A = this chain, B = another copy of it.
Amino acid sequence: MRTRSTTLPKPTDAELTILRCLWRNGPCPVRALCDALKDQQNWGYTTVLKFLQIMTEKGLVTRLPEGRAHIYTAAIGEADVEADMVSDFIWRVFQGSARKLVLGALATGDVSTEELAEIKGIVESLEGKQS
């Protein structure tokens, strides 16, 4: 179940990377995040720390002291962020037409047969719901 988070700012690319790590691994201190990110992003420790400080200000994460260090926790859910970003993108690029986005995504050719079937299922269930 998604909880709408209308107030939080859209994360930047770097912030999104960090949020993904927190979503996957659960609450972590900075050091653990650095290690977990080492293969994707070779960020220095203070880089990650800085992002987390900014994200704390923005409300994207929360933190609790644990001894000398801090434990950071994602303050928004993955589904919420994705929904916000999709909405935003639809407006920026397609002037609000979700249809054009879907058609564009399907046209990338990166959707497998199983996924197509799943999508068709969703479309049909939505068709059923509408007046």
Interface residues of A (CB under 8 A from B): 13, 16, 82-83, 85-87, 89-90, 92-94, 96, 98-108, 110-113, 115-120, 122-124, 126-127, 130
Specify which of B83, B116, B127, B130 is in contact with A104 (CB 8 Å cutoff).
Answer: B83
Interface of A is mostly: helix
- Knowing that A86-B104, A96-B110 are A-B contacts, what are 15 other residue pairs whose CB atoms are under 8 Å apart, sorted by A's residue number? A16-B92, A83-B104, A83-B107, A85-B89, A86-B108, A90-B108, A98-B106, A99-B112, A99-B115, A101-B101, A101-B105, A113-B127, A116-B126, A116-B130, A119-B123
Per assembly, the copies of the chain total: 2
Specify which of B86, B110, B120, B130 is in contact with A123 (CB 8 Å cutoff).
Answer: B120
